[in-house]
Structure 1
Amino acid sequence: MSPQESPARAPSTGFEFRVLGPLEVLADGELIPIGSSSVRGILACLLLEPNQIVPMDRLIDTLWADAPPASARTIIHGYISRLRKLFAEHAGDGSGNPEIVTRPPGYVLQVDADRVDAHRARALVNHAYGLEPAERSRVLTEALRLWRGPVLADISASPLHRMVGPNLDELRLLALEERVAADLDMGRHHHLVVELSTLVEQYPLRERLTGQLMLASYRAGHRAEAQARYHVLRRRLSGELGIDPGPELRNLYERLLRDDDTLLSPQQRQAATGTAQVRVGRPIPAELPPAVVGFVGRDRECAALDRLLAQRERGSANPLAVLTGTAGVGKSALAVTWAHRVARSFPDGQLYASLRGFDSDRAPLAPGEALTSMLKTLGVAADAIPVDLDDRTALYRSLLADRRVLVLLDNARDSEQVRPLLPGNSESLVLVTSRRRLDGLVVRSGAYVLPLETLPTETAVELLDRAGTPGKSASEPMAARELAELCGGLPLALRIAAARLAANPARGVADLVHELTDERNRLHALDIDDADTSVRRAFDISYRNLHPVHASTFRLLGLIPGHTFTGHAVAALCGTDPPSARRRLRALALAHLITEPGSDRFGMHDLLRVYARDLLGATDGQQTISRGELSPDDDAALRRLLHYYLVTADHARRFLRPARDELDFSGDDTPRPEITGRAEALEWFDAEWSNLVAAVRVANGEGMHELAWPLARLQFNYLMVRCPWEDWVQIYSDGLDSARAIGDGVGKLLMSAGLGVAYSRSGQPEAALTHYAESHAEAQSTGDPALLALTQVNMGAVLFRLGRYEEAQVHCREALQAYRTLGDRYREAGALNNLAQVEQVNGNLEEALAHLREAEAMYREADDLETLAMVLNNCGEVSIELGRVEEGERYHHEALDVAQRCGSLERQAAAYRGLGEAASSRGDRSVARTRWETALTIFETVGSHRAEEVRERLRDLPTTS
């Protein structure tokens, strides 16, 4: 790319997304409708973080803030489906079509970042740095043109706007100020006076804009106006905020008063800004390591440090900051980069000490050693340095008492190592980096702690490009994004990956992606010949510094199938109690080996998870068994975890619907979360769902078949309420594999039956019949009348859907007789409901309604709300068919209320569908349309095949009454 070439251009074909103003989506230059405000909000949230995982919790917060409905996750699934359909309808033949990919714990919008105006604007602003003034002004003007009005103007009431709007507004103001600076460098001060006067009226507290207006006015010969602008701002800041203008503006004002001739030359001004007279006889240390090559991102963190520096200038902040984060996250790189950037603010120099807190070859640097080195740098003769540590500290603080020094303490082990190295004055600033949080410095010294997270995908790809072969990532954009994700956004891993690509120019990015895809080889692939540069080595040092109990806990975390975990789950895994497990987890969080994104909800970086799994079966760092096997202790730990899921899922499911099998863990004393009602049960299943799906898969894969199929079965009541079809089929297929592997007849019967329910409810009756028939054959082989009746109820239901009414009736009647003989009223209700459907289609409506009313009473006894809602809807349907419209409407209204109480969206949609039928029967087409449109929206949200029935009714409904 030539220096004059901007890095980002609006796409001429395909999709373009605009958030810098009202949200707009264009396909081949044409605006396309997006849909409701909620769908727009979800799309905006994904667009602002393209090519990286946007967690489900953040999407929920975007739409509902602190008051999400119980069915929030299901509703969002529906919105995502609509967006996928929208993209598919307008997709072009070439590349660049956006795609929304499910990636736990949320979704990823895979799209070229240049197709999103906000990211194009940020790229242009970043590209402008370092360009010649004329080109810089041109590029920044191009960026500013992308703003079409207030950011996300059409969804301004959402939490999303309140969260990202200020950041994008700040980006615009930054671009504006930088463009003005470039114009000043080109001598356009006469033109700028008018523009800046308007801008200062709009942003009266923006000090940089006022300073630029003062400078433009001074250069234009308006000396008195330039000085007056300063006093206007000073009075306003004092009156509204109780503060004075910052040091840069004060410095500019003083130079205006002196008629400093350097104000007339941008080059001289840059050289003079922030300089100070060098004191004779005082060494000015300049110990900062070289700036990091290819440093990218960290705008938020740099801004936070800038604010701390500004507050320190005003005397309102403690001059001590701690950068913390996991190994390889880039703490030192950020600290050194920022220190170089602000070095001019510290005219008395910069001190640096590598404290070696996590060095595998050398012991941590003692505070006394660090003080000796820094005292020598400050001009103290070796024989004049005190022996006692306290005396050394006192001399160090005395020397810095009237100096303005930046002290960078890299790789600290703990607070005690840092405390003697803190200056006693507030003029100097200390920046510390550590893999630990150093809470002691917060409590005793008031430190400001800034935790570093991994890089977002877009920034990670930029780092790959800068640290490796320029342009290589751009030549394989999708592979580069996948490589960034496999590195987990960890800067150390990204730099190693870039080095490997640079070392072999013929190697493609996709080749390295293929190598890293296998988790068993990923950490090995992120090693290079330099022994000190290795992701595994960085993790090893952190791991070996753990207390043995914490090290054992971290290693066992590699067994957890899902992406997050709770104190209760880890207690089961480690064979301890939940309070002890939480103490261990918080110790690991302090060491930045895990994260705590929510209350009692923990997670791990992907590479740390791979590292923990590599440690399984190892003793003192040595692998004792072959990779892929589990030691007896690890096998027992995994079984404890799976058993915990069995116990808790069994407890929670009983609040949703009655248990319809012989699985019962109610007498087990395994500690589990407090779940006392339906809402809490649904909340637990929602939060743990991805873990439960992964747990069934792992149990099957590890040969723990006696645990796999029961764990799948225990999710049935939740599946009936939430209906996540893909997950349903996956876990029951895994469960069926396990039941077959150990020849468990009941397991095979229940897994086949569950698959039949999934296919039947998702509109695939032929597939459902296959599984129901397998289940029925298994029941016949057992000779158990209860199991046989269960499968006959299912057979009757699916044969009815296939139009084989006589066969359906036989199965339903035989099941009904069996349950009456067994005295099982709950299951008798299911047979009655299915038999009623057969009678209804045969025209025996009164008999059908009688069966349904019997079933209704039985489901009320059992407090099975989800199935009660279904039967009430069926009662309403038959009543309307009998001409009893008011009675049918009452049934549907009650069904809606019951469905809302139990959280079943599909039953709610069916109720609205029935209410529409009632309105249509009365001739009230307007009400019918409204109710059917509501039903259609909900059916589409849950992905139900019944949506087409409602579409047909809406199509057939006349547009006028």
Structure 2
Amino acid sequence: MDDMAAHVHQCRTHGLPALMYVFGLEGLGVSCLVTQFWREHPELIEGQIIWLGGRRSDGTMVPLGELLTRALRQLGISAADQGATEAEKTDSLHRVWRDKRFVLVVDDIASWAQILSFIPVDVPGAIIIATSPFRQRELEQRGFADFTPDLLPDEAARTLFVDGLKDTAEELEPAIIDELTDFCGGLPLLIKVLSAQIYRRAYMAQHLLAQLQNSELRLPELDAERRIQKFLDTAYSNLDEADKDAFRLLGLLPAEHIGLDAAAAVLDAAESGAAYIRLEKLSELSLMTSRDSKQPRYAFHPAVHDDARDRAMATISPAVRDQAVITWVTWYLRETLARARAISDRWWVSPVANLLTELYDGRVPRFTRSQALEWLELEGLNAIAAVRAAHRAQLHHLVWPFCVALWKYLHLHGLYDAWIDIHLLGLASARAVGSELGVMQLTSQLGAVYLELREFDAARQQFIESLAIARAQNHVLGEQSALEWLGKIAAAEGQFAVALAFYQQSWNVIANATDEQISPTERARAFAILWLQRARAELGSGNPDRALAAAEQAVTAFEPHPTETDNRAKAHLILGRAHLALGNAHTAISVFETAFTLFDEERVEKQKAASNHLIGDAYRTAGDPTAAIEHYRLALDYYQRVGSTAATTVARSIAELNG
């Protein structure tokens, strides 16, 4: 830690950011060293600490885009306020660096490439740390100083062991404490596991000492990895059978963390209270870790997770292992489907809607949108892991409906890498079970993310396939949606005439459909959205009068739909822009203010800033520079906070008005 502190001081002396990476064997205490570094050297920390995990619980790498998204979210920048591409996210991050320093840790990186985009530009005083089980020579070549923790010396190891024993240490002879500490070989993980076995059970000390003395642990050639395995063997052998079963079954799950209800389902416990007893026992013995919250969560240390999984594979029959995974996946699918319905009213193909009813035996619970979002905030990453686990287990009939359910969560959180990844799995599964409707909906959802990323050719390919299936299946909503999205792609490319042609085709599909094919409510909403899309395209093509007429129709069409606050606000934004383009500055101000109020109801900060920006433009056109500057400053505050390139444009407008 002193060496790390000296490196930070040296970097600051030369006006450079401090780049470090810490590596070492699982169980050596790499992450603990980094954590302790902050406690020992608070004078070096000038801002917020951002901690990111570089690997998923199943060992796969977290993509760079997802790491950037999580970093920005921890800085208070919601997914809705972030750019879609890695380049946009990186640019925002670097801009934020300049205004408020923070320390960033990417723990357990799988590749040196995961960290490079986080290196700040011209920000002396910043600290970036990567941790890894292995040496990363590529990082050293890119200016990262390397550090690795040594095995704990005797005095430090004994102190850690006594800390774990707490008041139980007073019941033990000092010589026994010394002998037990020696067996740990200076490895922090082993010290924690062993002390946890004895805490409040002093009688276990002599028993464990005898077990260890009769093992091979005293052989000098025993390396750290084998020593860890022997300790885990000892800890496992002292569990009762029910706890052994729980340890192994939970070890099969690729979960980021485990909640009581999910554990109860897998352990076939009658209620979560029974699962709580098992999880708390494993936590008390340091075979799992727990965190305090309103909803208790438990997790494995990576080395212990590997051990639990290996024991499960060696001792549990394939049928029982498969059933545990099926139970876990089904539980997450069931819970996700019910909440997904609460956060998005986008149509689902009939097999998904039927599956929801089937999983709840016709009694689907109702959740508010905020309740659903809160649950997905906690469980979303596990749900994504469940999709991957279901695909590995070839549970294809569950994989693709799961993707349909997760679409809105992925969109709201900006998890574009995961969105693409699991939708490709979902498409493979839908094709494997011959679900044309599944392919139709998933190609549509996959096309949406490609459009977000401005990969227009890839997006178009998905919607063309979705459209072909919708027409073959006579699925009106699918056909209308695919045509609308093809129009949105054309509009994004600046081909507004093409976009308007697609919107007209989509309109005709709805107009010609029967009430059995599309309900009156769905029909009215689809027409309202198409009015909005037409208004945008007309404005983009330089026809503000037509844009004005279409936007007025959109505003009117959305009025009867109280849940469409966001779209109502967007319609007002386009309406105001059309008025401004036609020279109606005062009318535009009023319309933009309405848009701002609606966006405020939805707490959409990005669009609130856009509204203030446009209000500033309108006041400037109306000849009121004071009011214009006031609204420009409100927009600028947001743009600077999230690292938006629009900050430059607004700052220039303010400077021009100030002379």
Q: Is TM > 0.5 for Structure 1 vs Structure 2? A: yes
Which residues of 2 match residues 554-953 of structure 1 at below 5 A? Answer: 554-576=247-269, 577-599=271-293, 600-619=296-315, 631-662=318-349, 663-664=352-353, 665=356, 668-669=359-360, 676-820=367-511, 821=513, 822=518, 823=520, 824-859=523-558, 861=561, 863-923=563-623, 924=625, 925-927=628-630, 929-934=632-637, 936-937=639-640, 940=642, 947=644, 951-952=648-649
Q: Matched residues in 2 for 1:929 and 1:906: separation?
A: 14
Is 1:696–1:731's contact at 8 Å kept on the other side of the alignment?
yes
Q: Matched residues in 2 for 1:609 and 1:673: separation?
A: 35
Given the superposition, is the C-alpha separation of residues 766 and 651 from structure 1 closer, same or farther in structure 2, using an over 3 Å criterion? same
Aligned-pair distance for 1:814? 1.9
Secondary structure, counterpart of 2:494 in structure 1:
coil
Secondary structure, counterpart of 2:298 in structure 1:
strand
Is 2:342–2:368's contact at 8 Å kept on the other side of the alignment?
yes
Q: Matched residues in 2 for 1:411 and 1:841: separation?
A: 66
Q: Matched residues in 2 for 1:12 and 1:774: separation?
A: 54
Is 1:916–1:931's contact at 8 Å kept on the other side of the alignment?
no
Aligned-pair distance for 1:704? 2.0
Is 2:569–2:596's contact at 8 Å kept on the other side of the alignment?
yes
Which residues of 2 match residues 308-457 of structure 1 at below 5 A? Answer: 321-322=167-168, 350=174, 352=176, 415=200, 417-418=202-203
Q: Matched residues in 2 for 1:74 and 1:912: separation?
A: 18
Q: Matched residues in 2 for 1:887 and 1:633: separation?
A: 68
Q: Which stretch shows the higher mean deviation, 801-810 or 854-863?
A: 854-863
Secondary structure, counterpart of 2:291 in structure 1:
strand
Residues 617-666 of structure 1 show CA distances to partners (whole Å, capped at 9, x for unaligned) of 443xxx65xxxxxx222222222222222222222233323132133325
Q: Matched residues in 2 for 1:50 and 1:745: separation?
A: 37
Aligned-pair distance for 1:948? 5.0
Opposite residue 539 of structure 2, the aligned amino acid is Q
Q: Matched residues in 2 for 1:646 and 1:813: separation?
A: 37
Secondary structure, counterpart of 2:305 in structure 1:
helix
In the alignment, which residue of structure 2 is the partner of 1:26? 16
In the alignment, which residue of structure 1 is the partner of 2:153? 294
Aligned-pair distance for 1:834? 1.5
Secondary structure, counterpart of 1:526 in structure 2:
helix
Aligned-pair distance for 1:703? 1.9
Secondary structure, counterpart of 1:602 in structure 2:
strand
Opposite residue 494 of structure 2, the aligned amino acid is G
Aligned-pair distance for 1:100? 6.0
Larger relative helix fraction: 2
Aligned-pair distance for 1:73? 11
Residues 655-702 of structure 1 show CA distances to partners (whole Å, capped at 9, x for unaligned) of 323132133325644999998433332222222232223222222233
Is 1:793–1:830's contact at 8 Å kept on the other side of the alignment?
no
Secondary structure, counterpart of 1:616 in structure 2:
helix
Opposite residue 289 of structure 2, the aligned amino acid is T
Which residues of 2 match residues 164-563 of structure 1 at below 5 A? Answer: 294-295=153-154, 321-322=167-168, 350=174, 352=176, 415=200, 417-418=202-203, 500=223, 526-527=225-226, 533=227, 535-563=228-256
In the alignment, which residue of structure 2 is the partner of 1:85? 94
Residues 535-568 of structure 1 show CA distances to partners (whole Å, capped at 9, x for unaligned) of 2332233233333333222212123223112112
Aligned-pair distance for 1:815? 1.2
Aligned-pair distance for 1:798? 0.8
Aligned-pair distance for 1:606? 0.8
Which residues of 2 match residues 6-85 of structure 1 at below 5 A? Answer: 16-17=11-12, 26=16, 44-46=47-49, 81=90, 85=94
In the alignment, which residue of structure 2 is the partner of 1:345? none
- Greater Cα radius of gyration, structure 1 or 2: 1
Given the superposition, is the C-alpha separation of residues 669 and 755 from structure 1 closer, same or farther in structure 2, using an over 3 Å criterion? closer
Q: Matched residues in 2 for 1:764 and 1:596: separation?
A: 42
Residues 209-264 of structure 1 show CA distances to partners (whole Å, capped at 9, x for unaligned) of xxxxxxxxxxxxxxxxxxxxxxxxxxxxxxxxxxxxxxxxxxxxxxxxxxxxxxxx
Residues 751-785 of structure 1 show CA distances to partners (whole Å, capped at 9, x for unaligned) of 22222222223333343223222322332333322
Opposite residue 292 of structure 2, the aligned amino acid is G
Residues 325-377 of structure 1 show CA distances to partners (whole Å, capped at 9, x for unaligned) of xxxxxxxxxx99xx9xxxxxxxxx95547999xx9xxxxxxxxxxxxxxxxxx
Opposite residue 851 of structure 1, the aligned amino acid is A
Secondary structure, counterpart of 1:655 in structure 2:
helix
In the alignment, which residue of structure 2 is the partner of 1:211? none
Matched residue count: 547
Aligned-pair distance for 1:797? 0.8
Given the superposition, is the C-alpha separation of residues 78 and 740 from structure 1 closer, same or farther in structure 2, using an over 3 Å criterion? same
Q: Matched residues in 2 for 1:497 and 1:827: separation?
A: 74
Is 1:896–1:907's contact at 8 Å kept on the other side of the alignment?
yes
Given the superposition, is the C-alpha separation of residues 546 and 295 from structure 1 closer, same or farther in structure 2, using an over 3 Å criterion? same
Residues 169-198 of structure 1 show CA distances to partners (whole Å, capped at 9, x for unaligned) of xxxxxxxxxxxxxxxxxxxxxxxxxxxxxx
The alignment-based identity, stated in percent, is: 19
Given the superposition, is the C-alpha separation of residues 714 and 608 from structure 1 closer, same or farther in structure 2, using an over 3 Å criterion? same
Given the superposition, is the C-alpha separation of residues 913 and 929 from structure 1 closer, same or farther in structure 2, using an over 3 Å criterion? closer
Given the superposition, is the C-alpha separation of residues 847 and 62 from structure 1 closer, same or farther in structure 2, using an over 3 Å criterion? closer
Opposite residue 605 of structure 1, the aligned amino acid is H
Is 1:912–1:934's contact at 8 Å kept on the other side of the alignment?
no
Given the superposition, is the C-alpha separation of residues 49 and 909 from structure 1 closer, same or farther in structure 2, using an over 3 Å criterion? closer
Given the superposition, is the C-alpha separation of residues 748 and 294 from structure 1 closer, same or farther in structure 2, using an over 3 Å criterion? same
Is 2:17–2:127's contact at 8 Å kept on the other side of the alignment?
no
Q: Matched residues in 1 for 2:645 and 2:460: separation?
A: 22
Q: Matched residues in 2 for 1:28 and 1:413: separation?
A: 41
Report the TM-score, using the length of structure 2 for normalisation. Answer: 0.67
Given the superposition, is the C-alpha separation of residues 683 and 87 from structure 1 closer, same or farther in structure 2, using an over 3 Å criterion? closer
Secondary structure, counterpart of 2:630 in structure 1:
helix
Q: Matched residues in 2 for 1:41 and 1:9: separation?
A: 8
Is 1:832–1:855's contact at 8 Å kept on the other side of the alignment?
yes
In the alignment, which residue of structure 2 is the partner of 1:193? none
Given the superposition, is the C-alpha separation of residues 928 and 803 from structure 1 closer, same or farther in structure 2, using an over 3 Å criterion? same
Given the superposition, is the C-alpha separation of residues 781 and 300 from structure 1 closer, same or farther in structure 2, using an over 3 Å criterion? farther
Aligned-pair distance for 1:896? 3.8
Given the superposition, is the C-alpha separation of residues 682 and 69 from structure 1 closer, same or farther in structure 2, using an over 3 Å criterion? farther
Is 1:595–1:602's contact at 8 Å kept on the other side of the alignment?
yes
Secondary structure, counterpart of 1:649 in structure 2:
helix
Aligned-pair distance for 1:587? 2.5
Is 1:70–1:903's contact at 8 Å kept on the other side of the alignment?
no
Secondary structure, counterpart of 2:498 in structure 1:
helix
Residues 98-155 of structure 1 show CA distances to partners (whole Å, capped at 9, x for unaligned) of 9864769xx98999xxx989999xxxxxxxxxxxxxxxxxxxxxxxxxxxxxxxxxxx
Given the superposition, is the C-alpha separation of residues 598 and 558 from structure 1 closer, same or farther in structure 2, using an over 3 Å criterion? same
Opposite residue 597 of structure 1, the aligned amino acid is R
Q: Which has the higher contact order (CA 8 A, sep 6+)?
A: 2
Is 1:651–1:666's contact at 8 Å kept on the other side of the alignment?
no
Aligned-pair distance for 1:597? 1.1
